[in-house]
C-alpha cells in the first residue's frame, strides 16, 4: 500500500516535470521561430527595392520638362541677343559710312563754293561795272529811264549785250521789288507765241510765279501778252501783271556773268 502511494507520488512528480520540460521546449522553439521570422522579415524589407508610386513618376517627368523648357528659353534669349547685337552693329556701321560720305560731299561742295567765290571775285576785279548798272548775285542789272513798248525794250537790252530780266528765285523777286520801288518795269515774260503759255525771252518756262493774286493775274487774255512788275496807278498790288505789249513802260535788262565765272 505504501509502495503504491509512493509510486503514484513519484509518477505524478515525474509526469509534472516532464510536462514542464515539454512546455519549456515548446516555448523555446516558438521563440526561435519568432526570431527567425523577424530576421527574415527584416532582411526582406532591407533588400527589397523601393517602388515609386504613379504620382512620383509624374512629378519627375514634369521636373525634367521644366528643365528642358528653361534651357530652350535660355538658348532662344541668347540667340535673340546675338541677332540684335549684330543688327545694331550693322546699322551703326551703315550710319557711320553714310555720315562719312555726307561729310565728304559737304567738304567737296564747300571747296567748290570757295573756288566759285574766288573766280567771282577775280571776274569782278577784271570787269568794271558799267555806269547805270547794278550788280547782284552774279548778274548786272540796268534800269532804263525812258519808256518804250515791250519789243523795243527787249531790243535795247540786246544792244547792251543783255536781255529783259528773267526772275528765277524769290530772292531775285525781292531784289526787283526793292530797286523798282513800286514802279512798273517790263520784264522778259510773254505768251505772244501761244496764248496762256508764258515763257521767258530765252525760251525757258516759268519756274517761279509771282502773279498778283488780288486781281487774279494773268487775266488779260489775248489782249495782254506781256508782263510788268507793278503798276503805279495800283500801289496796293504786289505781283506781276499782264498788260498790252504796245504799252510804254520802263524796262530792266539783265546780264548774267555766270558763264564767265564758270570758265
HEC-encoded secondary structure of the chain: CHHHHHHHHHHHHHHHHHHHHHHHHHHHHHHHHHHHHHHHHHHHHHHCCCCCCHHHHHHHHHHHHHHHHHHHHHHHHHHHHHHHHHHHHHHHHHHHHHHHHHHHHHHHHHHHHHHHHHHHHHHHHHCCCCCCEEEECCEEEEECCCCECHHHHHHHHHHCCCEECCCCCHHHHHHHHHHHCCCCEEEEEECCCCCCCCEECCCCECCCCCECCCCCCCCCHHHCCEEECCCCCCCCCCCEEEECCCCCEEEEEEEECHHHHCC
Q: What is the pLDDT of residue 187?
A: 95
Q: What is the pLDDT of residue 5?
A: 46
Contact 242, 223 (CB under 8 A): no
Q: How many whole angstroms separate alpha carbon 172 and alpha carbon 157?
A: 18
Q: What is the pLDDT of residue 125?
A: 60
- Where does the pLDDT of residue 200 fall: very low under 50, low under 70, confident under 90, or very high at 90 and above? very high
- Where does the pLDDT of residue 38 fall: very low under 50, low under 70, confident under 90, or very high at 90 and above? very low
Across the chain, mean pLDDT equals 78
Q: How many whole angstroms separate alpha carbon 204 and alpha carbon 163?
A: 13
β partners of residue 226: 190, 243
Please list, in sequence order, all residues whose beta carbon lies within 8 angstroms of the beta carbon of residue 260, skipping any fewer than 6 positions away. 123, 127
Q: Per mean pLDDT, which range of 23-32, 149-158, 167-176, 194-203 is the poorest?
A: 23-32
Over pLDDT 70: what percentage of the chain?
Answer: 71
Highest mean pLDDT: which of 8-12, 61-65, 128-132, 239-243?
A: 239-243
**Could you count the other beta carbons within 10 Å of the beta carbon of residue 150?**
27
Q: What is the pLDDT of residue 219?
A: 87
Over pLDDT 90: what percentage of the chain?
Answer: 29
Q: What is the pLDDT of residue 227?
A: 94
* Average confidence (pLDDT) over 33-61: 56
* Average confidence (pLDDT) over 11-31: 50
Q: What is the pLDDT of residue 100?
A: 86
- Where does the pLDDT of residue 207 fall: very low under 50, low under 70, confident under 90, or very high at 90 and above? confident
Write the burial class of residue 99 (CB in 10 Å: 0-12 exposed, 13-18 middle, 19+ buried): exposed
Higher confidence at residue 146 or residue 45? 146
Contact 147, 249 (CB under 8 A): yes
Residues 79, 80, 83: CA angle, nearest 5 degrees:
85
β partners of residue 189: 200
Please list, in sequence order, all residues whose beta carbon lies within 8 angstroms of the beta carbon of residue 173, skipping any fewer than 6 positions away. 167, 208, 210
Q: Per mean pLDDT, which range of 94-108, 125-139, 220-234 is the poorest?
A: 125-139
* Average confidence (pLDDT) over 65-84: 88
β partners of residue 135: 140
Higher confidence at residue 157 or residue 34? 157
Q: Per mean pLDDT, which range of 146-150, 179-183, 232-236 is the poorest?
A: 232-236
* Average confidence (pLDDT) over 163-186: 90
Interval 91-117: pLDDT, tens: 788 888 888 888 888 988 888 888 877
Q: What is the pLDDT of residue 249?
A: 95
Q: What is the pLDDT of residue 14?
A: 45
Tell the residue number behind the cell numbers 498788260, with chain if given. Answer: 243
Amino acid at each position: 500500500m505504501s509502495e503504491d502511494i509512493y509510486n503514484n507520488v513519484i509518477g505524478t512528480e515525474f509526469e509534472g516535470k516532464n510536462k514542464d520540460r515539454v512546455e519549456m521546449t515548446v516555448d523555446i522553439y516558438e521563440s526561435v521561430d519568432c526570431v527567425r521570422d523577424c530576421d527574415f522579415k527584416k532582411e526582406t524589407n532591407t533588400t527589397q527595392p523601393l517602388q515609386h508610386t504613379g504620382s512620383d513618376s509624374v512629378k519627375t517627368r514634369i521636373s525634367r520638362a521644366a528643365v528642358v523648357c528653361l534651357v530652350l528659353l535660355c538658348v532662344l534669349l541668347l540667340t535673340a541677343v546675338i541677332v540684335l547685337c549684330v543688327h545694331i552693329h550693322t546699322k551703326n556701321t551703315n550710319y557711320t559710312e553714310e555720315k562719312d560720305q555726307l561729310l565728304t560731299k559737304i567738304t567737296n561742295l564747300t571747296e567748290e563754293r570757295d573756288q566759285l567765290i574766288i573766280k567771282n571775285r577775280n571776274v569782278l576785279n577784271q570787269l568794271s561795272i558799267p555806269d547805270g548798272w547794278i550788280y547782284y548775285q552774279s548778274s548786272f542789272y540796268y534800269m532804263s529811264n525812258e519808256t518804250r513798248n515791250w519789243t523795243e525794250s527787249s531790243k535795247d537790252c540786246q544792244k547792251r549785250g543783255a536781255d529783259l530780266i528773267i526772275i528765277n528765285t524769290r530772292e531775285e523777286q525781292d531784289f526787283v521789288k526793292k530797286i523798282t520801288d513800286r514802279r512798273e518795269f517790263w520784264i522778259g515774260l510773254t505768251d505772244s507765241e501761244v496764248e496762256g503759255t508764258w515763257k521767258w525771252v530765252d525760251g525757258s518756262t516759268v519756274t517761279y510765279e509771282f502773279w498778283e493774286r488780288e486781281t487774279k493775274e494773268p487775266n488779260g487774255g489775248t489782249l495782254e501778252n506781256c508782263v510788268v512788275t507793278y503798276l503805279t496807278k495800283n500801289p496796293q498790288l504786289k505781283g506781276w501783271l499782264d498788260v498790252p505789249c504796245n504799252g510804254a513802260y520802263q524796262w530792266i535788262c539783265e546780264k548774267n556773268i555766270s558763264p564767265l565765272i564758270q570758265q
